Structures are given as C-alpha cells and as structure tokens.
Amino acid sequence: MIGRLHGILVAKHPPWIVLDVHGVGYELEVPMSTLYDLPEAGREVTLLTHYAIKEDTAALYGFLRDEERALFRNLQKVSGIGARIALAVLSGVSTTEFARLVHDADITALTRIPGIGKKTAERIVVELRDRVDAAALSAQPRTGGVPGSPSDEAIAALQQLGYKQVEAVRLAKDAAAEGDDAEAIIRKALRAALGR
C-alpha cells in the first residue's frame, strides 16, 4: 500500500500529474481541488495517496488534504460510485460544500455533478449522511500526456471527469478567456456546470 509520496512535481496534465520520487516518476490522478493548489512544476510537494487495484488495472490517486482522501474513499462505499465519480465530486465541490449538500439532502445540487443521477444522489444522502464529518459543516469553505492548448487540456480533463465530449467542448469554450491556462478554464467550466 502506498499511503504518501513526497517528491518533485514534474508535470501537470489535468487530471494527471507526474511526481518524481528519487528518480521514479509516479503518475497520479488528482481531483481538480488538489490540482488548483499544487505549486508549479519543479517544486517539492507531498501528496496523500490512494492505491487501487482492480482485475486488470492499478491506479494511484493523489490528494493534498486528508479530508479529500477520506471523502474519496467514503464515496466509493456507496453502491454505483467508483473512482471516476468520486473524483468528479471532489472536482466539483469542496468537502465542506459536499457535507452541507448531504446534510441538507440537496438532491438537485448533487445531480449537477457528472455521473450522479437522482437515484445515486439519494443513495449518497442515505449512506453518507452519518459519515460526513460534522466538523466539515462548520469549517470555512476554501475559496505525461501530449501537450496541447489550454482549451484542449481542459476538454480532456472534463471528459476524464465524466462529461461527454460535446458537453466538455461547450463548457471549455464558454469558460475560456484570453490568457487562461487549463486550470482556470476547468475551474470556470465546473462552476458553470454546477450552476455556481
């Protein structure tokens, strides 16, 4: 089990990053909440990790904060939710906001997250209401690949989060402004998609 990695951030290709740990390059998939807060390439970073092995694949996920990793793990305990949807949740809302949505049973807001339909949202509320950290409700909300244009990277990242290609292209196009990097486009696209 790999629980934590410390090394040099080599590359960011949303939603993937490469972390060099003593000469070994680890490719990790990270939620946008983590990606937004990472330093620029070439800087040291410590990530909490979740290592997942399935029948035919192995994947490594990275998180800057323990509450994000805990939510990622708890979400996958809900029937019908896998790593992809768990990452989409973390990319779409903060852990504090998610706790509030579950606590308030806000099914409509939960269904705005890609991959979550009404029945899944209802299961999340029922199965996670007792698990969401009460402290999260009182906390303040926090305000490689082949290189391409920032819009292309944003579209690829949105598709990784579960949006269909047509929707990802539309969201990225609507969100992009001159001078925006991929992270800025993704952030604005997700806010628009979630109606915030």
Look at residues 90, 125, 75, 86 and name the one whose alpha carbon lies nearest to residue 105. 125
Q: How do residues 48-100 score in pLDDT, each as one tens digit?
A: 999 988 888 889 999 999 999 999 999 999 988 989 899 989 988 888 888 88
* 85 alpha carbon, distance to own chain's centre: 9
Average pLDDT over all residues of the chain:
85
Q: Is the pLDDT of residue 110 over 50?
A: yes
pTM of the model: 0.69
Instruction: Spell out the alpha helix ranges (H) of 113-164.
Output: 118-128, 134-138, 150-160
Structure confidence at residue 103 (pLDDT): 86
Look at residues 123, 127, 126 and name the one whose alpha carbon lies nearest to residue 111. 123
pLDDT bin (cut points 50, 70, 90) of residue 148 is low
Which residues in the chain are classed under CATH 2.40.50.140?
A: 4-63
Q: Which fold has domain 4-63?
A: OB fold (Dihydrolipoamide Acetyltransferase, E2P) (2.40.50)
Q: Is the pLDDT of residue 147 over 50?
A: no
Structure confidence at residue 196 (pLDDT): 62
15 upstream amide cis, omega within 30 of 0:
yes
Q: Which fold has domain 67-138?
A: DNA polymerase; domain 1 (1.10.150)
d(CA 14, CA 130) in angstroms, rounded, equals 32
Residue 88: other Cβ atoms inside 10 A: 25
Q: Is the pLDDT of residue 113 over 80?
A: yes
Q: Which fold has domain 150-193?
A: Helicase, Ruva Protein; domain 3 (1.10.8)
